[in-house]
Amino acid sequence: MEERADTPTLLVVEDDPTINQALTDRLLAEGFGVVRAHDGPGAVAAFERHRPELVLLDVMLPGFDGLEVCRRIQAIRPVPVIMLTARVEETDVLVGLGVGADDYVTKPFRMREVVARVRALLRRVERDRDLAAAGPVLVELGDLAVDVTARRVWVAGEEVHLAPLEFDLLTTLTADPGAVRTREELMREVWGWADARGSRTLDTHVRALRAKIGPARVRTVHGVGYAVER
């Protein structure tokens, strides 16, 4: 464990000691503080004790798995979570997003990709603070209402819960209703990086978003990207 004053502290939860150490070394080299855990109960205890700004969380853990860890820590305090998973099936990813994860990285991964996603999520947290200070912003498109400042969404008067990156994707699209946003633009603005390897991440989040606000609201423009209908 190595925490640093005035820098974000990250919690790395990974039972493979080689991967755990490699992530820790790279994140320390990037200037972050790092707290480590190797199993489910240890992860929750470390989260309560050290109050990290972001969690890198393996899905398969001793004690109880990463999905249960995510449920428990989000009940304590909302925090950005990146799941580390060897499960590439879409249903597994959607379950992770449904319990409060923001993003996922499939193994084997490149360290620079992990660092890029960490920085993107931390920037989102800072942006949310700035929006809250600036005052309320409400976007209304038919029976879809989005409170950008409070990060709340309603469809036909019923509130819908979105995972953090699902909300960011929606607000990026609704910032210019009807306009087509390219895949590269969405990856850069929502995830902080534009890379073809992010296509699966983007598509999975679009499917999750459509399931919650209605499939017809997000239009696919084949070969280009996506748009939200006016």
CA nearest to 104, candidates 210, 1, 197: 197
CB within 8 A of 176, min separation 6: which ones?
Answer: none
Mean pLDDT of 83-107: 77
Say what the pTM is: 0.71
**Domains (range + CATH), the chain:** 9-128 (3.40.50.2300), 135-228 (1.10.10.10)
Task: Grade residue 126 by pLDDT with cuts at 50, 70 and 90.
Answer: confident
Q: Which residue has the higher pLDDT, 135 or 154?
A: 154
Mean pLDDT of 175-180: 91
Task: Grade residue 173 by pLDDT with cuts at 50, 70 and 90.
Answer: very high
Measured in whole angstroms, how far is the alpha carbon of residue 147 from the centre of its chain? 19
Using only C-alpha atoms, the chain has a radius of gyration, in whole angstroms, of 18
Q: What is the pLDDT of residue 57?
A: 95
How many other C-beta atoms are found inside a 10 Å radius of the C-beta of residue 9? 19
- Tens digits of residue pLDDT in 195-221: 655 567 888 889 989 999 998 899 999
Q: What is the pLDDT of residue 29?
A: 96
Q: What is the pLDDT of residue 158?
A: 93
Q: Which residue has the higher pLDDT, 23 or 176?
A: 23
